[in-house]
Structure 1
Amino acid sequence: MSGVQRFSRATLPVMPWKNGGGTTQEIASWPQGAALDSFGWRVSIATIAAAGPFSVFAGIDRQIMLLEGDGVRLFTHDGRIDQRLGVPHEPFAFSGDEAIDCTLLGGASNDFNVMTRRGQWRADVRVLDSASAIAAAPHGVLLALRGAWRLNDETCREGEGVFWADVAPQAWQAVPDGGSEHARLAVVRIVPA
């Protein structure tokens, strides 16, 4: 994987979780083909269909945000973390070292997940709702959450996006296509720690 590549949520492969509580669609990871214990960074979409523990990822910094659905409550049993993900498009950061448990706030939900190996990579995750210049980064993911977006020379409709890895730092001009007042774009810039 190198250069800029397009993707669509509709065609990403779906992998079941080991515990049966949901599924994952990987958008991109680095290095390409790295296992879950050796990636430098990974961006994916998960469907959480049942309550249960999150997998522990030692040495990994995580960010998660609700895409669709009723949402979830993430908590540790000692009370240090107790976070409701009930509002779409609001990133929440936590350590993958934590033993996080999850309960559903209703039915199943879809969540956007960014994981970076601590000490190697750092991710800046934000959501845009208007035209913006996105600072250059050597790795990253852009996902149209609502509406269509013009991303440099690419047009991405809702559920489509681009990712890039191992390139000269890539900057973007992001403009809602057609001036949609409800447009939203997930921006993940991944830079060396």
Structure 2
Amino acid sequence: MSKNSRYPAYDVWAEHTHWDDHTKQVVGSRRSPQVAYQFFSHSEGLLVQTAASELVNDHRLEVLTFVTQHLDEALASPIGEAQRKVGVPPKKQLYRWGLAGIEAESQARYGTGYVALKKEEQQAILQEIAAGRTQAKEEWSQLSPVDFFKRFLRDAVDAYYSHPLVWSDIGYGGPAYPRGYVRVEKGLTDPWEAKADDK
């Protein structure tokens, strides 16, 4: 996404000295994530990272590593879900079955694992899963491919847009606490906020 940024010279992290200590620690940890899988196997983690890169259309390793780490930690957490649609399995089972489904779909269509496919083939598999058009019927017998795709997409996008590199890309100024906003009138920005096209 960075190649399309309207804020190529903006770096939200340059403002971190104005944040409180807890915020600095949380956002700082996102900049250099270290994945030690708690829920995913190594092969599942690589599959998640590869598929997520297609979902968010970004191939920066530091961002994708964070997305994978975030999903892994969320799935390993004992905190339950607030709600889920009737018939949709719990999130841990949904991911186990869904990732196995992606891999099985790749084998059924191309005779090889998902990670080894060309980008256009990876995209095609995700598009077919999103539309519910699957060939690996056994692997999807207990799970709607559409339900899995929607959950995976939502989780990947949520994680993606919480990374500071992506904040810089979209011109988000990061946490304003404790300094707050001063120029709140329409069309005005504070000096520390992003300026489009570096103006």
- Whether the TM-score (by the shorter chain) exceeds 0.5 is no
Question: What TM-score comes out, normalization by structure 1 length?
Answer: 0.28
Q: Using CA pairs below 8 Å that are at least 6 residues apart, which structure has the higher relative contact order?
A: 2
Larger radius of gyration: 2
Higher share in strand: 1
Q: Which has the higher helix share?
A: 2
